[in-house]
Amino acid sequence: MSIESLLSKGIKATPPSFVRGILKAASDPDVISFAGGLPNPISFPQEELLESMERIVKTYGRKVFQYSITAGLPELRQYIADRYNRIFGLNLTIDNILITTGSQQALDLIGKVLLDQGDGVIVEKPTYLAAIQAFSMHRPVFYPVELTEEGMNPEQLANALQNPVKFVYAIPDFQNPTGLTYSAENRRHIYEILKDRNVVLIEDDPYGELRFDGERLPYIGAGKLPNSILLGTFSKTVTPGMRTGFIISENKELLKYISIAKEAGDLHTNIFSQYLIWDYLANNDLEVHIAKIKALYQKQAQAMMDAMDKYFPSTVKYTKPHGGMFLWVTLPEGVSAMSLFPKALERKVAFVPGDPFYTGTEKANTMRLNYTNADCETIEEGIHRLGDLLSTLQLFL
């Protein structure tokens, strides 16, 4: 009586997460891991959160422990609406916002609400591996569009839109995995391409607050495209352990269906966490806190780039992020980052090979490096180890 015969086609089509699969190896204390996407714990305001916990238990009592409504805590949704209205000139009310169990759940809900088998999904090439996972469950057809230093390739996007596409999934700021950011011009271009089409634009923005260089750019669709969805999270600015993200959309009909999927998915997001994050935000200056995180990440990103300049062969290229948590390394053509991975682990350094960030099978010569979860000395040592390995490799090229 094998379970195999009972499994759905959807789960068989869903790749396990490479990152989650190597968590064990990468958490060996001797291994310097650039593999995960962990914030630096300094970005967790522990003392202030503990104060908020005491305050909300005392002030709201049972309410922070009871079942709650699906859309999420009104006060927290109001805070989010106010913040986006202020920073981006949007015109949001709490009815435009639904709290999710982390941004990952938003991807799950969007897949459920929009995708049937065979539907088209446009993604960046490469894109966030857990978005590929969440959408794959529905067995869509992926149309990857090349991501360049400017953003999505507009011609490829227009071509991909000839297919029966339900949505475009984009991460315009400090993209995961590449660290690239769409230019203002590219954003306008994409808007022009999408504005008369009946597709949904998903702008996933977990890192936008973490810009340590230059000015924030306007969203592509938020406030302009009626069928657009903007995703945000407190995971990178307050705490990821609390799994508190949010969906913003001006399309209330779409949000209504997302809410039904959320009911069926987990009833509502942890209400204690929602009170906690709201109370923290109401009693602390988020800008001051974010400024600390940004200064830290900028220093760490710089340390990684400096070390790469020092230890990597000159044939190895990498992106220079202006924010966020990742950069993207391109090895010489023909070098498989995946086959490099076990050799790197032997040298006690971990990264994510490019392969899982593509929707097709690739023997990618790319890798994602995270610079947020190690101090500068550790970063230098890890890049040194990786550089030594790459130099050995050079001998065979």
Site for a second copy in 160-219 (CB under 8 A): 166-167, 197-200
Q: What are phi and psi of 111, to 5 degrees?
A: -60, -45
Task: Note whether 253 binds a second copy by CB under 8 A.
Answer: yes
**Which of helix, strand or coil describes residue 232?**
strand
d(CA 80, CA 288): 17
Q: How far is the CB of 260 from a second copy (least distance, A)?
A: 5
> What is the footprint of a second copy within residues 133-152 (CB under 8 A)?
133-134, 136-138
d(CA 236, CA 326): 13
CB atoms within 10 A of CB 27: 12
> What is the footprint of a second copy within residues 67-106 (CB under 8 A)?
67-70, 101-102, 104-105
Q: How far is the CB of 256 from a second copy (least distance, A)?
A: 8
Residue 8 or 283: the one with the smaller Cβ distance to a second copy is: 8
Contact partners, residue 162, CB within 8 Å, separation at least 6: none
Rounded (to 5) percent helix, strand, coil in the chain: 45, 15, 40
Q: How far is the CB of 397 from a second copy (least distance, A)?
A: 36
- Are the C-beta atoms of residues 272 and 123 closer than 8 Å to each other? no
Question: Pick from 228, 239, 359, 365: which binds a second copy (CB under 8 A)?
Answer: 239
d(CA 132, CA 362): 14
Strands 120-125 and 366-370: unpaired
Residue tagged 């006690």 (tokens): 348
Question: Pick from 158, 217, 261, 376: which binds a second copy (CB under 8 A)?
Answer: 261
The stretch near a second copy (CB under 8 A) out of 10-18, 144-152, 177-185, 356-364 is 10-18
Q: What are phi and psi of 305, to 5 degrees?
A: -65, -40
The stretch near a second copy (CB under 8 A) out of 263-271, 335-343, 358-366, 380-388 is 263-271
Question: Pick from 271, 296, 316, 329: which binds a second copy (CB under 8 A)?
Answer: 271
Contact partners, residue 135, CB within 8 Å, separation at least 6: 107, 111, 115, 121, 123, 142, 169
Q: What are the residues facing 327 on neighbouring strands?
A: 369
Residue 189 or 243: the one with the smaller Cβ distance to a second copy is: 243
Residue 105 or 181: the one with the smaller Cβ distance to a second copy is: 105
The stretch near a second copy (CB under 8 A) out of 57-65, 283-291, 306-314, 345-353 is 57-65
Residue 78 or 85: the one with the smaller Cβ distance to a second copy is: 78
Residue 24 or 86: the one with the smaller Cβ distance to a second copy is: 24
Residue 2 or 314: the one with the smaller Cβ distance to a second copy is: 2
> What is the footprint of a second copy within residues 337-356 (CB under 8 A)?
none
Task: Note whether 115 binds a second copy by CB under 8 A.
Answer: yes
Question: Pick from 251, 302, 336, 378: which binds a second copy (CB under 8 A)?
Answer: 251
Residue 98 or 393: the one with the smaller Cβ distance to a second copy is: 98
| Max CA separation in the chain (angstroms) | 66
- Are the C-beta atoms of residues 352 and 33 closer than 8 Å to each other? no
The stretch near a second copy (CB under 8 A) out of 54-62, 170-178, 297-305, 326-334 is 54-62
Residue 43 or 175: the one with the smaller Cβ distance to a second copy is: 43
Task: Note whether 370 binds a second copy by CB under 8 A.
Answer: no
> How many residues in the shown chain lie near a second copy by CB under 8 A?
86
User: Which of 310, 218, 264, 237 minimizes the C-alpha distance to 108?
Assistant: 264
Exposed / middle / buried, residue 76 (Cβ in 10 Å: 0-12, 13-18, 19+): buried
- Are the C-beta atoms of residues 332 and 317 closer than 8 Å to each other? no
CB atoms within 10 A of CB 269: 26
> What is the footprint of a second copy within residues 284-323 (CB under 8 A)?
none
Would you give the binding string for a second copy spanning residues 24-43, x where CB under 8 A is met? ------------xxxx-x--
Q: How far is the CB of 159 from a second copy (least distance, A)?
A: 20
Q: How far is the CB of 324 from a second copy (least distance, A)?
A: 16
**Which of helix, strand or coil describes residue 185?**
helix
The CA-to-CA distance between both ends of the chain, in Å, stands at 50
The stretch near a second copy (CB under 8 A) out of 59-67, 180-188, 210-218, 318-326 is 59-67
